Amino acid sequence: MNTKEMPGGRPLPEGDMTARFYELYGKDTQPELFFAPGRVNLIGEHTDHEGGHVFPCAIDFGIWALAAVCPGETVRLCSLNFGDQGVVEAPAHGIEHDIARGWANYPLGVLRILEDHGYALPAGLNLLFQGNLPEGAGLSSSAAIEVLTACIVNDLFGFGLDGVKRALLSQEAENRFIGVQCGIMDQFAVSMGKKDHAILLDCAKLDYRYAPLPLGGCRLVIANSNVPHSLASSEYNLRRQQCEAALADIQKVRPAENLCELSEDEFNAVQEAIRTPEALRRARHAVTEDARAVRAVAALEAGDLVTFGELMKGSHLSLRNDYEVTIPELDALAELAWAHPGVVGSRMTGGGFGGCTVSIVERDAVEDFIRVVGEEYARRTGRRASFYVTGTANGAGRVSGGLK
């Protein structure tokens, strides 16, 4: 098992990023350090694109960047997470998607969308990234680097964009430049996270409020199945289409702008209008999951972790039975967690078809939880899980004090 525990707040990456920055870009400017967290969604999965509620929190795993303004009209980028393959260069203006740039298309896409909205770079930019988010685990590494880029240029060039606007522009970059039709949840959580809190976000209206996350003697434990997933997969897009078909059928018998504006009773009254059993199941998940998210926040605010845990389990079962985005490895991790006496609640998190579960585990039981679940998961699946014990974090921003 690979177990990694990060302290609360924003731990700095290992290694001397500053020295590497100077090697790449020279010592003419003093770079500034920025950080963007990953996110984990506690409940409310596959509801954001149906106009529903989500309940994510930012976590203290994430991506750091050293950034400095430079003369000229060139953006230079390097990531230490891809074998330090050297510098990617792009023009500061009129950036186009280039598959050969690989990972760099994510930050470059944000720069292009910013320019499209009237926020063109007035100078060049040197960037060096390093992160500790597990790749392919569904903890929003793409959203983190997008929001991080928006945060950097907003700070260095004084564009005056608030956190919500930075999230929206980052989402637009992923939709238009990258071509992944994600909802707003990931970018919003990365941008607007608040330590010791989660965010109840109405994705249709962008109304949000912070809810205290009273974990008390518990910790958040993320278990990575080590089955990579892809949000651009055909199965993910198919489920979106099935939800759209269900909504179209419902609209023939009553007005509705999105699935999640329906209460469970309202949905039950019109569900016979949905013509295919697959579309019915997808829509039922969206509606019931939206209701679970709202009830879960009320339970947390009442200090009722037991009910919150039960709703997490209900969420996973709905994702398994109705939305059908779990896989045997995710089901195994969730079932093993439910059976452990130190677990308050557990569910898959993220898009599905791989990735992670998130569990609320009593602090004194964390070590045993990791051992027992890890060993049994390996026995059942032949795979090794990775575990990350994490805390909450604030949203993307400049790191005061710089890199030590």
Structure tokens at 16: 């001397």
What contacts 298, CB < 8 A, 6 or more positions away? Answer: none
Domain ranges of the chain: 2-213+393-398, 218-390
The dihedral formed by the CA atoms of 104, 110, 112 and 116, expressed in degrees to the nearest 10: 170
Domain 2-213+393-398, second-level architecture: 2-Layer Sandwich (3.30)
* Predicted local distance difference test score (pLDDT) of residue 256: 96
- In the structure encoding, which two tokens stand for residue 304, read together? 């009722």
Length of the chain: 404
* Token couple for 83: 């074998």
Nearest-CA neighbor of 138 among 198, 56, 224? 224
Catalytic residues: 186
- The string of DSSP codes covering 254-316 is S--SSGGGS-HHHHHHHGGG--SHHHHHHHHHHHHHHHHHHHHHHHHHTT-HHHHHHHHHHHH
Read off φ and ψ for residue 19, nearest 5 degrees.
Answer: -60, -40
Model confidence, pTM: 0.89
Q: Which tens digit of pLDDT belongs to each residue from 14-41?
A: 457 999 999 999 998 889 999 999 999 9
User: For residues 16 and 256, is the Cβ–Cβ distance under 8 A?
Assistant: no
- Residues 320-376 have pLDDT tens digits of 999 999 999 999 999 999 999 999 999 999 888 888 999 999 999 999 999 999 999
d(CA 57, CA 362): 19
> Does the structural domain 218-390 have CATH classification 3.30.70.890?
yes
pLDDT score recorded for residue 402:
59
* Structure confidence at residue 233 (pLDDT): 60
Q: What is the pLDDT of residue 136?
A: 65
* Residue ranges in the chain whose pLDDT is less than 70: 1-15, 83-85, 135-137, 230-233, 401-404
